[in-house]
Structure 1
Amino acid sequence: MVSQSKTPAPEPSTTNMPSAPPAVKGVAKTLAQHHKAVIGFLLGFFLVLLLYTFLSGQLVSSEDAIVRAVTQQSTAAVHTDQDGRTTSPTSPTSTSSNTTQDNLEGKNTERSSQPAVNDEASDKMEEDLIRQDIDQAGTKNGTNHKPGAPRKPICDLSDPRYDICEISGDARTMGTNRTILYVPPVGERGLADDSHEWSIRDQSRKYLEYINKVTVRSLDAQAAPGCTSRHAVPAVVFAMNGLTSNPWHDFSDVLIPLFITTRVYEGEVQFLVSDLQPWFVDKYRLILTNLSRYDIVDFNQDSGVRCYPHITVGLRSHRDLGIDPARTPRNYTMLDFRLYIREVYSLPPAGVDIPFKESSMQRRPRAMLINRGRTRKFVNFQEIAAAVVAAGFEVVPVEPRRDLSIEEFSRVVDSCDVLVGAHGAGLTNFFFLRTNAVMLQVVPWGHMEHPSMVFYGGPAREMRLRDVEYSIAAEESTLYDKYGKDHPAIRDPESIHKQGWQFGMKYYWIEQDIKLNVTRFAPTLQQVLQMLRG
């Protein structure tokens, strides 16, 4: 029968109908298959349309989210202060009223919220460098960070010289408690490790026990103290105590690490100083005020809660009185630091030759002869000065004092072609010498050649100064007269050093003075004179 077909049935007949031919059956089968294909096509098309609609909605949502994020970022990048002025995130909208100047002079030096005019490209580059530095620190941190996890306070304790913490976002200070807090944003609350806490020494020598520690920890916004002041620039927390008061340590432990850590900010950073030393601030005021345009905060005495977008706790340090360019944001070198110091003290720029060659007048090269006040001093200082004059130099005799004005003394050093002195802190004045000037280091007895090179000779060469070293003979040491030629300190210095650093310190750094043999010293002076004339 063909009743399956949609073709109307014929009128019934009284006669018997014959069976449908095979051709009719084939047509019916083809029509059925076509019907199924059409239904399948329509169903597939509907599913594709449904999937397309779903994906389009997701893409639109993602685009909306991106637009919202960009809008929020743009809104945060430029805002209007209470006086209707437009400011950027790097503008100094709030500064310290509890300042070093207050402590030293009893004056109120609070700054007004004046907007700063910044180069946007330079600001972005600095932010990228700082962010990259923070990310690199995160890879060294001993805590476990999962991809996509919210950023937490990052304290890197892996360096053998220093510990350092970097906090970005809502960073708050509690100076009287020596505490820095990180408050996670709303979307990250409950995700940050609130129990994680670090205590570090906020200077460049992490194992110097008499530097007090600063605590860094996370704290939920509900438990965090409210801000008493908000600041648009980053902050750096560091200690001024330790081995400071010795010029070598002033530079090696604080000023060079501070340069490494903060120079990239171009002055747009505030210093929060724990264990503040007023004499240090007064002595190095020009350097400190050049690295930061903002008032120094006495952190230990600061009772307020300051809020910053970024806080660094501690100072980076690469080696004693040295800089590793590969570890600085802009590949700074010791030469960069020396030229920076000369610029700060308004000394002639790098292109100006040494005074002996720069002067149009015929004159002798000038040699500054430094005499130490206590240990490793020249006991025959006047005889040495006369020998330097006899060799063809003009002598500038100096006995450095702690109260000596660096501004004035730097100009005296700059006027000299040679800096002569025994191994010791007085040679730190080589920062004020011009390129190609000579540092003549008198090396005391007792296998002191290595520390002399590490602490002064190497840095001098890195700063494009010429380093000459004169190692004294045993007879030129006062230890020879005090103990005799057969004492191990004279006969076998290495045996003294093997007993421990304190024994070498006792004999060769503390007890020893120098009685220079001027006849033996004369060829070295001639060597220096030829270098200057060459």
Structure 2
Amino acid sequence: MKAFRNTSRGLSKSKLAVGLFAGVFLARLIYFPVSPKFAVRSPNAILPGSLINGVADHPPVMEKIDLALPLGNSAAESPAVTEQDHEKELTISPTNSTGEQAAPRSILPPTLKPICDLSDQRYDGCEMWGDARTANGTNTSRIYYIPPPSQLATAEAAAWSIRSQSRKIIAVREVTVRSLNLSNLHEAPSCTVWRGVPAVVFALGGLTYNLWHAFSDVLVPLFTTVRAFGGEVELVATDAPVWFVPKYRRVLRALSRYGVVMLDTDTEVRCYPHLIVGIRGHRDLDIDPARAPNNLDMFAFRTFVREAYSLPPPAAALPVKSGGVKPRLMIILRRKTRRFVNPDAIVAAIERAGFDVVRMEPTLAADMDAISREVDACDVLLGVHGAGLTNMVFLRTGAVLLQVIPWGKMEPHSEGFFGAPAAHMGVRHVTHSIAAEESTLYDKYGKDHPVITDPDIFYKNGSNARYYWWEQSIRLNTTRFMPTLERVKRLLQE
């Protein structure tokens, strides 16, 4: 005891005592003893406990849902996960979709300052390691970030409002991200669920009722953001329409082996060792390989989607080359704007040109499993410029996307929204621009109206969408269309 008192007096006279006391106090402030049953054995894991006013109240419970449960409701789709499996989930490195061992999930990289970047023209993004907590709110979903202990004393408190979709000009429910420090650490909500995998928070609202926007604004950027995790990532959605997850369940299930968390209604405070807010969208329905992890591109996305829907490999022979007598063409028949007003005459002309024709009328409730199989069985996908052409993701390599371009200098839009992405996916793109007389605008306004003679006027005053996207439909001249069909047949024979 005397030796201990002497040692204590010595230490108290040194600067070491100050540092030792501060370190111990800070550690006690942030962490609490964890039961061995739930201990995280990885030395790199950062899974802090719950805090109220800087003092740990009680250990957060481990999540009781099946960690491996996919998005379906049927229990037969996945075996139950035992409590031992749950503990194992938090203590070992995962394997990715190829069976190889992935990198540990909780390794702290070099500090990122700031954790949020709002400089990209298309999307906002935040990324944090160590202690990130999700919580829903009345008007906004919330993310709280507690920096590592070594940075808490010098960290600056900050807050960002993030539109967590890849097209930040679209109005979606915002996510508030708060980075805390010692002065406001007490504001962090208590953890009720610990997760041993990263999470990505993203919005599902906006314009996603439209198939093109669902893929361009969410599914393609989500693929770019999370594919490198090999399924070992939890998807946390905000602003979610009730139909979105069921409609695209195969894609979401292929990206994550966990069920989607609906943050806006979630009653838990989930704590993650690595969390990303926002998804990376480089271009319209496209990926920039130079900016994507592992140089992902749109061919990789099409391959991924086909696997998700259990379709043959992309390079499988085209239907016409694997036993089909005639090339098979699917025509998309829009119901409202930019629709064909003479569909029967068009179908008859296509059949005379030597094609088997399948009609598709897109609806919001359309079953994606059935559509994927029907498109895969076709050599050509034909339609007026519009969302339905997004189904080209289900075509095989070398198949043809045949896009009818409406009147009104729509060629740049047609190329940017579909032409370039098709080429990057390995799908051939053929266009057919209509003549003015084939537009219903010609009938409505007359041949001398500026909407026919001078489209630039309406681009300059911002009303081009009203006329060329919303008011216009098409009466296709089938005689004029025939050379385009012959060109498509030649491409399929190459």
Q: TM-score, normalised by structure 1?
A: 0.75
User: 2: distance between equivalents of 1:83 and 1:197?
Assistant: 32
> Are 1:458 and 2:420 matched, yes or no?
yes
Q: 1:88: Cα distance to partner?
A: 9.7
Q: Provide the residue aligned with 1:511 in structure 2.
A: 471
Which of 343, 360, 377 lines up with 1:415 in the alignment?
377
SS at match of 1:82: helix
User: 2: distance between equivalents of 1:106 and 1:395?
Assistant: 37
Trace 1:446-525 onto structure 2 (pairs within 5 A).
446-500=408-462, 503-525=463-485
Contact 1:323–1:332, Cα closer than 8 Å, also in 2 = yes
> Residues 85, 451 of structure 1: CA spacing in aligned structure 2 closer, same or farther, 3 A cutoff?
closer
Trace 1:370-389 onto structure 2 (pairs within 5 A).
370-389=332-351
User: 1: distance between equivalents of 2:436 and 2:189?
Assistant: 64
> Are 1:428 and 2:390 matched, yes or no?
yes
Q: Provide the residue aligned with 2:276 in structure 1.
A: 312
Name structure 2 gaps, 5 residues minimum: 1-33, 48-60
User: 1: distance between equivalents of 2:319 and 2:403?
Assistant: 20
Q: 1:251: Cα distance to partner?
A: 0.2
Contact 2:406–2:468, Cα closer than 8 Å, also in 1 = yes
Q: Provide the residue aligned with 1:19 in structure 2.
A: none
Q: Provide the residue aligned with 1:329 in structure 2.
A: 293
Which of 240, 246, 257 lines up with 1:282 in the alignment?
246
Contact 2:239–2:264, Cα closer than 8 Å, also in 1 = yes
Q: Provide the residue aligned with 1:180 in structure 2.
A: 143
Q: Provide the residue aligned with 1:33 in structure 2.
A: none
> Residues 463, 81 of structure 1: CA spacing in aligned structure 2 closer, same or farther, 3 A cutoff?
farther
Q: 1:222: Cα distance to partner?
A: 4.5
> Are 1:162 and 2:127 matched, yes or no?
no
Contact 1:420–1:439, Cα closer than 8 Å, also in 2 = yes
> Residues 374, 341 of structure 1: CA spacing in aligned structure 2 closer, same or farther, 3 A cutoff?
same
Letter in 1 for 2:146: V
Q: Which moved more, 1:211-220 or 1:399-408?
A: 211-220
Q: Which has the higher contact order (CA 8 A, sep 6+)?
A: 2
Q: Provide the residue aligned with 2:94 in structure 1.
A: 118
User: 1: distance between equivalents of 2:278 and 2:246?
Assistant: 21
Which of 277, 301, 312 lines up with 2:265 in the alignment?
301
1:145-196 deviation per Cα after TM superposition (whole angstroms, max 9, x unaligned): xxxxx655510111000100001111111223621111123333221112x1
Q: 1:84: Cα distance to partner?
A: 9.3
1:97-147 deviation per Cα after TM superposition (whole angstroms, max 9, x unaligned): 599x9999799x99655235735974239889x95xxx6xxxxxxxxxxxx
> Residues 125, 322 of structure 1: CA spacing in aligned structure 2 closer, same or farther, 3 A cutoff?
farther
> Are 1:243 and 2:196 matched, yes or no?
no
Trace 1:46-65 onto structure 2 (pairs within 5 A).
none
Name structure 1 gaps, 5 residues minimum: 1-78, 136-149
Trace 1:46-125 onto structure 2 (pairs within 5 A).
82=37, 95=63, 97=65, 112-113=82-83, 114=85, 115-116=88-89, 118-119=94-95, 122-124=101-103
Q: Which moved more, 1:449-458 or 1:401-410?
A: 401-410
**Alignment coverage as a number of residue pairs:** 431
Contact 1:252–1:321, Cα closer than 8 Å, also in 2 = yes
Letter in 2 for 1:158: S
Contact 1:152–1:167, Cα closer than 8 Å, also in 2 = no
Contact 1:233–1:270, Cα closer than 8 Å, also in 2 = yes
Q: Provide the residue aligned with 1:15 in structure 2.
A: none
Q: TM-score, normalised by structure 2?
A: 0.81
Q: 1:480: Cα distance to partner?
A: 0.4
User: 2: distance between equivalents of 1:387 and 1:126?
Assistant: 58
Q: 1:404: Cα distance to partner?
A: 1.4
SS at match of 1:309: strand
Q: Provide the residue aligned with 2:155 in structure 1.
A: 192
Contact 2:105–2:274, Cα closer than 8 Å, also in 1 = no
User: 2: distance between equivalents of 1:319 and 1:489?
Assistant: 30
Q: 1:216: Cα distance to partner?
A: 2.9
Letter in 2 for 1:332: L
Contact 1:80–1:87, Cα closer than 8 Å, also in 2 = no
User: 1: distance between equivalents of 2:71 and 2:288?
Assistant: 36
1:182-224 deviation per Cα after TM superposition (whole angstroms, max 9, x unaligned): 1123333221112x11111111122223443433322444543
Contact 1:488–1:495, Cα closer than 8 Å, also in 2 = yes
Instruction: Identify the structure with the greater helix proportion.
Output: 1
Q: Provide the residue aligned with 1:364 in structure 2.
A: 326
Q: 1:320: Cα distance to partner?
A: 0.8
User: Percent of aligned positions with the same letter in both sequences?
Assistant: 47
> Are 1:527 and 2:482 matched, yes or no?
no
User: 1: distance between equivalents of 2:36 and 2:357?
Assistant: 59
The structure number with the bigger radius of gyration is 1
User: 2: distance between equivalents of 1:509 and 1:316?
Assistant: 27
Letter in 2 for 1:505: A
Q: 1:400: Cα distance to partner?
A: 1.2
User: 1: distance between equivalents of 2:331 and 2:112?
Assistant: 54
> Residues 340, 485 of structure 1: CA spacing in aligned structure 2 closer, same or farther, 3 A cutoff?
same
Q: 1:394: Cα distance to partner?
A: 0.4
Contact 1:152–1:182, Cα closer than 8 Å, also in 2 = no
SS at match of 1:304: coil
Contact 2:315–2:396, Cα closer than 8 Å, also in 1 = no
> Residues 371, 223 of structure 1: CA spacing in aligned structure 2 closer, same or farther, 3 A cutoff?
closer
Q: Which moved more, 1:403-412 or 1:172-181?
A: 172-181
